[in-house]
Structure 1
Amino acid sequence: MTSWPLSLSLLRVYPKKLGSAAAGWAAGRTLPGGLREAVLGRFVRAYGLDMAEAERPLADYPSLQALFTRRLKPGLRPQAPEAPGCVNSPVDGLLIASGRIQAGRAIQAKGLPYGIGELLKHDPGAARFEGGHYLTLYLSPRDYHRIHVPIRGLVTAVGRVEGELWPVNDASTTHVPRLYERNRRATWVALGAGPDEGLEVAAVAVGATHVGGVIIDGRWLSGRTLPRDGSLPVDLLPCAPGDDLGTFQFGSTVVLLIGGPGAARWEPALTAGPVRVGQRLGLFR
């Protein structure tokens, strides 16, 4: 632990869950109308949010949380045309890691593997992703923070895993072992259908310090409450690229797992760099 950056060493003793709960409470407080542009404007300028893309003007957002979970103007993120095996980006962000899942492992950063079975804690069949692909998408504070469905298919399960709340940034990914399987997270799993038949995709939304809130869209819950630490079956509800999947309250990371019998012939269209919702991440070769 002596090689850790000072910021991470201090976080070992910081009450991360309590601090995150307090930050979430503060972000959700309604601001007086006359203060919204001044207070929220500081956040916009500090992180470089592009408000020209936002669905509503700045003064219409009642709280920092409402601004952070803003929708975009309709039509700004068109989905890439469907093609055999197409998987589209579920978020705006940065593709920071990708590769094959081998021996049940994915790579967080150089020299730091993590287990797919542990990442999908409540899924007893995680071995079916063996030989498939993982893609890790990081969201910065400036990014749009809604998560969208990446494939055409049938949703089979959603879940939540209680865990720690380490930050998810360069320092953490390169120093904190098994970061994604340690942190609080929500999971969404679907079988591919139509052009995506033969694939199975899991989207794992990983929380972080001051980013404990990961909300799965109510459509997939069918009136049920997502357990604190457990999973719910979903009765093969149809999904299409671009549908609402969930929302981050503040930012973090989505790990996409691509498995199923068609995964062996699935090929990524890119392995690193910026991505936007609806951008094609890969397809059958």
Structure 2
Amino acid sequence: MLRSLADRLFITLQYLIPQRWLSERMYQLARIEWRPLKTLIIRQFARHYQIDMQLAQQPDLDAYPHFNAFFTRAIRPEVRPLDPDPAAILCPVDGAISQIGTITEDQIIQAKGRDYSVTSLLALAPGELHPFAGGRFATIYLSPRDYHRIHMPLDGRLDQMIHVPGQLFSVNAVTAAGVPNLFARNERLICRFETAAGPIALILVGAIFVGGIETVWAGEVTPPHAGGEPQRWDYEVDEQCIRLERGAELGRFNLGSTVIMLLPPGRAEWDAGLSVGERVQLGQRLGICLAPSESGG
């Protein structure tokens, strides 16, 4: 009962606090280069979350110019080897599976007893079609201690990017269970690719204190955490088009958040045995492509 009351208070507080203002202040704090302060923040964070710096390309905490550089640190490629099967769908991040399964009648499971629609997640107009009905989805939560760069699950050609302004609720399990349509109401960046499994989407969901979402092709997309309508970029299919190899970096977060991957029906399957709460790592196999796409990247 006490835990339930604490959870309700935690969720209520998130409705009341100035989410954007706090996230923008955190963004500024994470980039302070004054040595005494940035060193204190980095060392306390690394100690509290027991960060294994032996995985990092730069293991020296003092070498990072500010907290954000430390938080978005690169890791050594050999510590996250890619599954060698070219048909394998790679895990795009280090994290934990929040939910995984089949998209049923446009619905994705957010938490037990709570669903939301793919249409709202992708910021589509009512009646606008998408290729993911009956397909597969995976929601992966990145905790503060995780590696925070996002990588490609397959070779892909970038078709579209949409930035959707929104709220900045926490994306942890308590909030996912208590806030309706959480991932479809939070600020997010939708990246759609053509791949060997057909069209796929990777949705980078912002959260409280997540002061930056960026991609390798567009740079920093947010902040500012502004309101207004979604912004959409469509990419030409020509010799200049943007192609990324499987395992290549796609983008990154500042502080923890969530990545949602959508796959079309009949083109891919998750491996048996993947379960909610399971820890996963960048490069490991999550599933397999069932057939090549004629227009694949």
Give SS of 1:75's match: helix
Instruction: Give the aligned residue type for 1:256.
Output: M
| Structure 1: gaps spanning 5 or more residues | none
Q: Distance in 1 between matches of 2:258 and 2:41?
A: 26
**Which position in structure 1 is the counterpart of 2:50?**
48
**Which position in structure 2 is the counterpart of 1:200?**
199
Per the alignment, do residues 104 and 148 of structure 1 end up closer, same or farther by CA in structure 2, a change over 3 Å counting? same
- Is the CA contact (8 Å cut-off) linking 1:200 and 1:260 kept in structure 2? no
- Is the CA contact (8 Å cut-off) linking 1:153 and 1:239 kept in structure 2? yes
Q: Distance in 2 between matches of 1:214 and 1:35?
A: 24
Q: Distance in 2 between matches of 1:151 and 1:131?
A: 20
Give SS of 1:87's match: strand
Please, what is the CA RMSD of the aligned residues?
A: 2.4
Mapping 1:74-113, distance limit 5 Å? 74-84=77-87, 86-113=88-115
Select the residue among 22, 27, 30 that pairs with 2:30: 27
**Which position in structure 1 is the counterpart of 2:293?**
none
**Which position in structure 2 is the counterpart of 1:177?**
180
**Which position in structure 2 is the counterpart of 1:267?**
270
Give SS of 1:172's match: helix
Select the residue among 256, 260, 263 that pairs with 1:258: 263
Deviation at 1:233, TM superposition (A): 1.2
**Which position in structure 1 is the counterpart of 2:285?**
280
- Is the CA contact (8 Å cut-off) linking 1:120 and 1:126 kept in structure 2? no
**Which position in structure 1 is the counterpart of 2:67?**
64
Select the residue among 39, 43, 52 that pairs with 2:41: 39
Residue 127 (1) aligns with residue 126 (2): no
- Is the CA contact (8 Å cut-off) linking 2:186 and 2:207 kept in structure 1? yes
Give SS of 1:65's match: helix
Instruction: Give the aligned residue type for 1:174.
Output: A
Residue 233 (1) aligns with residue 234 (2): yes
Q: Distance in 2 between matches of 1:225 and 1:69?
A: 16
Deviation at 1:182, TM superposition (A): 0.4
Deviation at 1:238, TM superposition (A): 2.2
Q: How big is each residue's C-alpha offset from its partner over 1:221-265, in whole Å with a ceiling of 9 and x where there is no partner?
A: 4x99789731111234322111111000111000000115524xx
| Structure 2: gaps spanning 5 or more residues | 291-297
Q: Percent identity at matched positions?
A: 34
TM-score by length of 2: 0.85
Per the alignment, do residues 35 and 17 of structure 1 end up closer, same or farther by CA in structure 2, a change over 3 Å counting? closer
Q: Distance in 1 between matches of 2:8 and 2:200?
A: 35
- Is the CA contact (8 Å cut-off) linking 1:138 and 1:254 kept in structure 2? yes
Residue 243 (1) aligns with residue 248 (2): yes
Aligned residues: 273
Instruction: Give the aligned residue type for 2:231.
Output: G
TM-score by length of 1: 0.88
- Is the CA contact (8 Å cut-off) linking 1:122 and 1:231 kept in structure 2? no
Q: Distance in 1 between matches of 2:186 and 2:220?
A: 24
Select the residue among 2, 9, 29 that pairs with 1:6: 9
**Which position in structure 1 is the counterpart of 2:192?**
189
Deviation at 1:37, TM superposition (A): 4.2
- Is the CA contact (8 Å cut-off) linking 1:202 and 1:258 kept in structure 2? yes
Q: How big is each residue's C-alpha offset from its partner over 1:29-60, in whole Å with a ceiling of 9 and x where there is no partner?
A: 1132x665443111101112111111111111
**Which position in structure 2 is the counterpart of 1:217?**
216
Greater shift in the superposed pair: 203-212 or 226-235 = 226-235
Give SS of 1:40's match: helix
